Amino acid sequence: MNGQLVAEILSIGDEILIGQITNTNAAYLGTELTRLGIQVDYISTCRDTEKAIVDALTLANNRASLIIVTGGLGPTRDDVTKNAICQFFNTSLEFNESVYDHLKHLFATYIKVPMNQNNRDQALLPKTCEVLFNEHGTAPGMWFAKDGVDTVFLPGVPFEMKSLFENKVLPKLQLLEGRRVILNKTLLTYGIGESALAERIEDIENNLPQGFSLAYLPNFGRVRLRISANVSAAEEKTAQQEIDRIAEVLKERFSDAYSGEEADGGLEARIGKVASDKKLTIVAAESFTSGRIAGAITSIPGSSAYFLGSYVTYATDMKVNVLGVSESLIQKYSVVSAEVASAMAKAALEKSGANLAVATTGNAGPSKGDSTAPIGEVFIALATKAGVMANSFSMGTHRERVVQRSVNKALELIYTELLKL
Question: Is pLDDT above 60 for 2?
Answer: no
pLDDT of residue 1: 41
pLDDT of residue 369: 67
Question: Is pLDDT above 70 for 370?
Answer: no
CATH assignment of 181-264, given 3.40.228.10, 3.40.50.300, 3.30.70.2860, 3.30.1330.10? 3.30.70.2860
pLDDT band at 373 (very low <50, low <70, confident <90, very high): confident
Distances (CA, A) of 372 to 337, 402, 405: 10, 17, 21
Architecture of domain 6-173: 3-Layer(aba) Sandwich (3.40)
Q: Are 258 and 266 in contact (CB under 8 A)?
A: no
Crossing angle between the packed helical segments 50-61 and 81-89, to the nearest 10 degrees: 50
Pairing mode, if any, of strands 282-286 and 307-312?
Answer: parallel
Q: Which of 61, 103, 76, 67 is nearest to 15 (CA)?
A: 76
Q: Are 209 and 228 in contact (CB under 8 A)?
A: no
pLDDT of residue 99: 86
pLDDT of residue 212: 95
Question: Is pLDDT above 80 for 77?
Answer: no
pLDDT of residue 334: 94
pLDDT tens by residue, 190-226: 888 899 999 999 999 999 999 899 999 988 778 999 9
Q: Which of 286, 351, 361 is nearest to 329 (CA)?
A: 361
pLDDT of residue 3: 59
CATH 3.90.950.20 holds for 266-420: yes
Dihedral sign, Cα of residue 295, residue 297, residue 301, residue 306: negative
pLDDT of residue 368: 65
Q: Which long-range contacts (CB under 8 A, 24 or more apart) does 312-320 make?
A: 312/286, 313/285, 313/286, 313/287, 313/344, 314/286, 314/287, 314/288, 314/290, 316/370, 319/287, 319/344, 319/361
pLDDT of residue 79: 67
Helix (H) or strand (E) segment spanning residue 358: strand 356-362
Going from N- to C-terminal start, the domains of the chain cover: 6-173, 181-264, 266-420
pLDDT tens by residue, 305-332: 999 999 999 999 999 999 999 999 999 9
